[in-house]
Amino acid sequence: MEAFRIPTGPVDSKTFDRLVSAFIEKMGFEIVSKEPRLEGGWDMLAKTTNPMGGRIFSLIYASPSNEVVGADKIRELLERMRLKQAARSAYITLGSFSDEAVELSKTSPVSLLGKYKLVESVESQKPRESKSGDNIMESLKSLGFDEKYYKGEVHAFDLGLSLSQAKDYFAGLKNRKKPLSLFGGKSSPAEVVGGFAPVEIFRVAHTKTEEAEAGLLMSSETEELVFVNLLSAELYNVVPPKKKGKTQTEAAIKSSKIFATILDLPFESRTTLLELVTHGDAPKAVLDPRVVALLKKKELVEVYDDAEKKASEKPFLEGLVESINENIVIIMNELLSAMSTGGEGKKDDKKEEEKKEMVKAKIPLPHLEGGSYSLLQFLVIEKGLEEDFAVDEPRYGSLELLPLMRHAFKGDVTPLGLMYMPYYRCRFVDSSGETKGWEVLVAPRFKASEMKAARDFEASSQKKTAKAKWEGKSKFSTQKFRVVR
């Protein structure tokens, strides 16, 4: 399962130890001591010199875990830093950090380096020592942590909503007919902030081969671009504007949590699902029944009877011939048995064939409702990050998503690089001011020309449907049909 880059569960600790040690030395530190921790990872006491020649000690904790690091772990590191009488500290991990941990680091002598921040730091130091930097980058690439920008430059979808519009949206959630109770009780919006989420672009290609004239085979390829949020593992798609009666809906961005659901599974369940995705169906008897039950509840696997499936896959004529042959054999056996036993017949002692239940992986994709996965077709793109928003680090890698994407889309999937999606996030609090949770509003700007084309297409489709209904009724009835515009 190493090839999947599963986000929970550590990578090879020796490889990570060598990588971090080389990185620390490359940054100008000398490692004085290294102490293993019970929870995994190491405390490294490192020293450097200031411009005046004085020695400065830092406590650096390195963990090969891919889990999300909370604020409690940062507080524990700060306490160990004080006991070692170090001036600063750093937390290096192949995982990511919670919002609370990031907020704590802003007011504490600690630096947080997640897996992608580590890549960024190594690349920024390359000009000084290219050879050692290249070696570290090769190690990072071997772990699957070398995400690149789409077309080699920073791109983002243009922001389509102002801060005041976002606040109105979140206030509208509170003022709905049904009070907002997503977080276990009534809550109100307290703070709205903007951000950029990293989104990976995947190219999905399908090849179709058809027989043409003179026995020649014609091959055609179709492709589409699919966008997945690398922070939340959400799959995006665009729903075009639609008109229902006198009501006109606007275009919208929708997201599916199917990949997030899979990546958030317990380690054993996720491993089993990925093995089914890669190696195919497996007998139910060899799998953990608790794992199968959980995957079935999440609608990620299907249990079927192998014998029934094989029978249903037989061609009709083949099955008919087999059925006739079996009936002839049964009649002949009955006659022979009656002759040898004086007409009493012979009991059939053949045991009924046991059913063999099989488990099959399934990754259901969202219904597009006439829309598209290709966000580039509908959304405005700009170079750079114009807005003064916080930029999120990826939590998942494109290589982690590849096997799921290939199975879900049944095609050849290639990661093309990442760009950024603007969004607003609102913190909701209860009557006492305690944070109850967050709501997110994705806020890109749509292309006016594409939206007009989508509206025209929808209107044209509705006219054709209305005309077809009218023509169908005119043959049997004089009832009039009026198209509501």
SS3 at position 23: helix
Cα distances from 44 to residues 89, 140, 390, in angstroms, run 10, 20, 30
For the record, the structure tokens of 336 come out as 């022979």
Above 60 in pLDDT, residue 55? yes
Contact 170, 374 (CB under 8 A): no
Q: What is the pLDDT of residue 137?
A: 55
pLDDT at 132 over 50: no
User: Two tokens at 5?
Assistant: 């880059």
- Mean pLDDT on 304-332: 60
With a cut of 80, say whether residue 60 has pLDDT above it: yes
Can you give the pLDDT at residue 402? 85
pLDDT for position 4: 29
Tell me the whole-structure pTM to 2 decimals.
0.60
- The CA-atom distances, in angstroms, between 84 and each of 142, 341, 470 are 34, 95, 84
Residues 354-359, mean pLDDT to the nearest whole number: 80
Are 365 and 236 within 8 A, CB to CB?
A: no
- pLDDT over threshold 60, residue 442: yes
Q: What is the pLDDT of residue 352?
A: 46
Please, what is the average pLDDT of the chain? 75
Residue 369's pLDDT band (boundaries 50, 70, 90)?
A: low
- Cα distance between residue 107 and residue 89, in whole Å: 13
Note the pLDDT of residue 124: 60
Taking alpha carbons only, the member of 164, 230, 221 closest to residue 194 is: 164
Beta strands in 230-345 (DSSP E): 235-239, 242-244, 247-249, 252-256, 282-283, 301-305
Q: Report the pLDDT averaged over residues 82-90.
A: 93
Closest Cα to residue 311, out of 280, 349, 356? 356
**Residue 185 is which amino acid?**
G
In whole angstroms, give the CA distance from residue 160 to residue 442: 9
- Does 450 have pLDDT greater than 90? no
Mean per-residue pLDDT, 12-17:
72
213 pLDDT higher than 70: no
% of the chain residues with pLDDT over 90: 23
3-state SS assignment for residue 49 = strand
For residue 129, name the pLDDT band (cuts at 50, 70, 90). Answer: very low
Q: CB neighbours (10 Å) of residue 367?
A: 11
Which of 215 and 430 is assigned the larger pLDDT?
A: 430
Tell me the torsion sign for CA atoms 136, 142, 143, 147. positive
Instruction: At 190, list the tokens.
Output: 């307290």
451 pLDDT tier (thresholds 50, 70, 90)? low
More confident residue, 346 or 155: 155
- Owner of token pair 């969202």: 366
Tens of pLDDT, residue by residue over 37-47, are 888 888 999 99
Which CATH class name applies to 2-145? Answer: alpha beta
Give the β-pairing of 68-69 and 96-97: parallel
- The full set of domain ranges for the chain reads 2-145, 152-259+364-400+407-446, 449-485
pLDDT attached to residue 280:
83
Range ranked top by mean pLDDT from 110-124, 141-155, 197-211, 414-428: 414-428
Question: Residue 313 pLDDT > 50, yes or no?
Answer: no
Average pLDDT over residues 118-123: 65
Cβ pair 186, 430 in contact under 8 A? yes
Name the nearest CA neighbour of 83 among 47, 57, 112: 57
